[in-house]
Amino acid sequence: MTIAVYPGTFDPITNGHIHVVERAARIFDRVVVGVAGSTHKTPMFDLDTRVRLATESLEHVDNVEIRGFHTLLANFAQAVGARVLLRGLRAVADYEYELQLANLNKQLAPELESLFLTPVEHFSFISSTLVKEVARLDGEVEAFVPDPVGRALRTHFSRQR
């Protein structure tokens, strides 16, 4: 069984993330979406909420598991039995950073292979940061995120108004 880990903060998960997971689920026996309890970022949603939103957004994909983690990614991947680290590349600007991460993870866990998937064009500009900014300014985010995430964003920002 080939297991891939798709890690990220997913703050929040977007349709671009969902598309990458759906594609990966056709390639691998099992995909573990690893929701990072980030220490260097300040997520808008707490880890439990991000795991819940990812779970609700991906319930239609049978061979996907959502798990939060607070460890080194290489250790998390080894703990779930993964052989592949899956990353999405939206633009050339992502490549340098992702290459550094891939090389670091290869040093930490030589048995792990990094695989990069590019999004389809209509998802290539979507980022969690941009989605949060649109939602914060009371814009429509429904085209960019699954319904549970849209509701969570509206609720979050309506409390701040």
30-36 and 64-69 strand pairing: parallel
Point out the catalytic residue in the list 90, 106, 136, 156. 90
Please say if 40 is a catalytic residue.
Answer: no
Point out the catalytic residue in the list 40, 41, 159, 161. 41
Q: What is the DSSP track for 70-129?
A: -S-HHHHHHHTT-SEEEEE--SHHHHHHHHHHHHHHHHH-TT-EEEEEPPPGGGTT--HH
Please say if 106 is a catalytic residue.
Answer: no
Q: Is the dihedral of CA 75, 81, 84, 86 positive or negative?
A: negative
Please say if 159 is a catalytic residue.
Answer: no
Interatomic CA distance for residues 19 and 115, integer angstroms? 15
Interatomic CA distance for residues 101 and 95, integer angstroms? 10
Among 72, 62, 2, residue whose Cα is nearest residue 34: 72
Point out the catalytic residue in the list 57, 87, 128, 132. 128
Please say if 128 is a catalytic residue.
Answer: yes
Hunting for tokens 């099992």 — which residue is that?
30
**Catalytic center residues:** 17, 41, 90, 128
